[in-house]
Every structure is written in C-alpha cells, then in structure tokens.
Amino acid sequence: MTNALNSFLTVRPSLVAMALALFIVSPLINVGPVNIASFLLLTTSVLYCAKNSSYIWSFWRTQKQLLVLIGLLFIAFSASNFLNHITSPFAAVFAQGRWLILLIASAPAVAWGVNVAAGQTLLRFVVFVLLIFIYLYVYDAILFLGFDSGGVLDVVGAERGDQNRPSWVFNPHPFSRTLIAALLVLVGVITVTAEARRRVAYILGILGLSVMLVLGAVRTAFIALVAVGLMSLAVYGGRRAAFVLIGGVLLAALGLEFRERLFQESLQDESLSIRLILIQDGIKALLEKPWFGGGYQAARDILWSSELDNFVQLQTLGTTNTHVQWLEMCVSYGVVGGAIFIALWLYSGWWVFTTHRQVAAGFKVFSALLFLNWVSLTVAGFSTVYRETEWALWTVTLLGTAWLHAQQVESRR
C-alpha cells in the first residue's frame, strides 16, 4: 500500500513540463481551459514537490523578497475581508490570491523539474499550437467580417465576446493581450531559427496576429505595442530592437486608423468619458475606506454616478469595476493592500529584467520576451481589470523567469 501511494505521488518532470505547456497555450482558447490547466499545473507541481521538498526551500530561499511580498499581500487580503465582514473571507482570499498560490507551488517544480531538453520540446509544442490557433482566428475573422457568419464558433457552440469585432470568444481587451503575448513568442523564435521553411511559417503567423490585433481595435493594445517597441531598445540590440520598434509603431498606427473607421468619433469620446467617471467613482470609494478598502470585489458595491446608469445596466457582476487594475486593488484592499500589490507587481518586473541582464547568452531572447510581455500587461492595467487570461500570462512570465533563474544557477555550478 505504501509503495503504491509513493508511486502515485511520484510525478515525473515530464508531467510538470506537459502541465506547464497546457497552461501556456490555454489563454489561446478561453477562460475555462485556463482554469483547468491552472489546476492541472498546481496538482502536478504539488505532487512533484511533495517528493522533492528540498526544491521548494532551495528555490524560495533565493527569492525571499518575492515571497515576503506575497505573504504581506495575503495578510492585507485577510485583514480587509474580516474588517468588512465579507461572506466566506477565506474563500475570498483564495479567489483573489489563487494565482499567487499557483506561483508559489509551481515555481520550484518548473525551475528544477524542467530541463533544457524538455524546455525546447515545450517551446516547439507551444509554437505549433499557436500557429494552429492563428489560422483558426484568421479564418473565423474572414467568415465573421466577410460573410456575417458565426463560423467556427457556431460549430463549437460558443458565443462571440463582441458583436462588432472578431475577438474569438473573448472580450476584445483580454484577447488583445493574448495576441500580443503570442506575437512576442513568434518574434522570438524567428530570431533564433535558421531553417527557411519554419521562418516562413513564423512570418505568416506574425502577419496573422498583426491582422487580428488591428481588427480588434483596442486602444490599449496599440499603446502597449508602442511601449513594447520602445522597451525593446533596452532589452534587444541592433536590428532586433529596430524591427520590434518599427513593427509596434506601424501596427499601432494601422490599428488606430481602423478603429476610427469602425467607431464614430462620438463613440470614442463617450468611451473615454465613461472610463474617466469610473475612475473618479473608484477614487471616491477609496476615500470612503482608505486604509483597508471595502474587501473582496468591493467595486461591485460602488454607488456609481448617474451618468453611468446605462453603462452599468449593461454590465454583469463580473465586469462592473473601475477599469484600472491598480485602482481596483486599492478600492478592495485600501492604500495598504493596494500599495503592497503594486510593489509586488513592480518587483516582479524588476526580477524579470534583472534575470534578463544576468542570464546566459543562449537564453537572452527568451528572457527579453518575458520582460516585454510584462510591459504589455502593465500598460493594460491602466485600462482594464485583469481576468483569468491576463493573470495566466503574468504567471507564465514569472514561471519562465523562475526557470531561467534556475538554469543560470545550474550553469554557475
């Protein structure tokens, strides 16, 4: 019986790599697969670390600052929920912090359990799945825009996230973050691939993703593209930086031009004015409970201004928010919790960037992509509240950094 239990608890590194691969590609599909892949990665990581507990301590001993910030954030979550008498406060803490729990459990397993060979196989799998979905997205967009057809979504029984834009089953905003992350992957692999046939496939994939980003017409996505292009000057060198910068600026210009044609100027102004009022109401809610906030999902209880009546009525409970991630955390957990979260976010970016500066030459492109994805998500935080797909992209960025950090430590040994 003991041997059978030990055999059950023994998770091979290949299973950790497989769960990680599924987690990486899950944002391409929808929110449901993201949650399933997250649970699968969490389970395999816990079982792997249960048989290799020393990996947990050896990893987090080198990242004490990150772990301390996460611990302080959980304390802020708990304090705010209890002070506000939130129903099921521990469940609320888990709901808000489940991505951090996933990071704590998975980072050691990914860092020490996935070797370079498995990492290369994982990357090939991710790129293969990515190319399939690019063709699927473009085909769906052609049917939707050219023939007014639900296309692929009708076959799978899914509902389109936006009836004006071919944003797959997502809302266009989180979908654009997924597209940018995918675009960065292809930009990275094409810079290190010499085989002509593969380079052609990657170029076609980049063109497909670019078309989808333009059709999505998300302003923040275009701002993020410019920011990514500018930051590429700090992490890339020579022609790579020029390529990413020019590409980002060109896509942003084309996207803004298409958005102006898609939406009337009056609608653009209305959208901006609505967001401004949302921010103002969020700040008012924060000032009412400045220190520890209103608790989990406090934005749902905000008394919104009368100018927002029509907008709020069209929203679901899941989308009623301040539309600024950093303000949302402050409304929920006050200046204390919001400041800790922002510090954690900034530290995560610093960790990714410093890892890039220190990592071996063979991993420079990969590490640069991780930092640029963090930049894209940071820009997004000023116009949206993160959903599962954004949290998954951030978690993948940090897990990738954890893996690179472990490879660096191993190379020094």
20 within domain boundaries: no
Radius of gyration (Cα) for the chain, nearest Å? 22
- Looking at residue 309, its pLDDT comes to 65
Determine the residue type at 27.
P
Q: Is residue 82 part of a domain?
A: no
Q: Compute how many other C-beta atoms are within 10 angstroms of the C-beta atom of residue 61.
A: 9
* DSSP for residue 319: T
Which DSSP letter does residue 194 get?
-
Asked whether residue 317 carries a pLDDT value surpassing 50, the answer given is no
Q: Please, are residues 111 and 59 in contact by the beta-carbon 8 Å criterion? A: yes
Domain annotation covers residue 158? yes
| Burial tier of 399 (Cβ tally within 10 Å: 0-12, 13-18, 19+) | buried
Burial 291-322 (b: 16+ CB within 10 A, else e): ebbbbbbbbeebebeeebeebeeeeeeeebbb
Q: Does 42 map to a domain?
A: no
Q: How many domains does one find in the chain?
A: 1
- The reply to whether 105 falls in a domain is no
Residue 8 lies in a domain: no
pTM of the entire structure?
A: 0.91
Let me know if residue 73 belongs to a domain: no
Structural domain including 383 reads 123-412
Rounded Cα distance between 403 and 110, Å, is 6
**pLDDT higher than 60, residue 316:** no
pLDDT digits (tens, 9 = 90+) for 353-370: 999 988 888 888 899 999
The pLDDT of residue 303: 76
Q: Looking at 289-363, list the stretches that DSSP marks H as alpha helix, in order from N- to C-terminal side.
A: 309-314, 325-358
* Tens digits of residue pLDDT in 104-135: 999 999 998 888 888 888 999 999 999 999 99
List, as own/partner pairs, every contact residues 153-162 make where C-beta atoms lie below 8 angstroms and the sequence separation is at least 24, other chains included. 158/30
Kindly state whether residue 52 falls inside one of the protein's structural domains.
no
Query: What's the CA gap between 199 and 191, in Å, rounded?
Result: 9
